[in-house]
Amino acid sequence: MSTRPSPQLHAYISYRDARAALAWLTAVGFTVLTRRDGPGHTVAHAEARLGQAVLMVADADAGYTVAPLRERSTGGGLYLWLPATTDVDQWYARAVGAGAREVIPPEDTPWGGHRARVLDPQGHGWSAGTYRPGQPG
């Protein structure tokens, strides 16, 4: 008897310059798994992995705008779970070193986690932290 696979959620982001986005992702620890180029030196589809996290990336096919930063949030973004405080601190340093904008420097949270937040070089919000969503507790 076979077991039916569980649903999984995967994120994707369209970038004004997907090639530059893939370079930034590589600088912060992701590995590009696949890349399919489109017309005019665009990226039609790419996938990048860090551990079990996989992100799909492509060049935007329209004039989308990224939500602006208001105080410390864009109202949405990606959250990267990392297992240790030092992992969060190192990821943050690499992200900023690769051109990300500092939003929340590494900090301990009142709920017992450790987190940091940046805007990638094209303005997308990224948080990293030790709080693991979906776990009992």
Domain 9-60, CATH? 3.30.720.120
Mean of all residue pLDDT scores within the chain: 94
Question: Residue 93 above 70 pLDDT?
Answer: yes
Question: So where are the chain's domains?
Answer: 9-60, 69-137
Tell me the whole-structure pTM to 2 decimals: 0.91
Percent of the chain with pLDDT over 90: 78
Domain 69-137, CATH? 3.10.180.10
Q: What is the pLDDT of residue 36?
A: 97
Q: Which residue stretches of 5-65 are H helix?
A: 18-27
pLDDT band at 95 (very low <50, low <70, confident <90, very high): very high
Smallest CA-to-CA distance from 15 within 59, 75, 72 is with: 59
* N-to-C CA span, the chain: 33
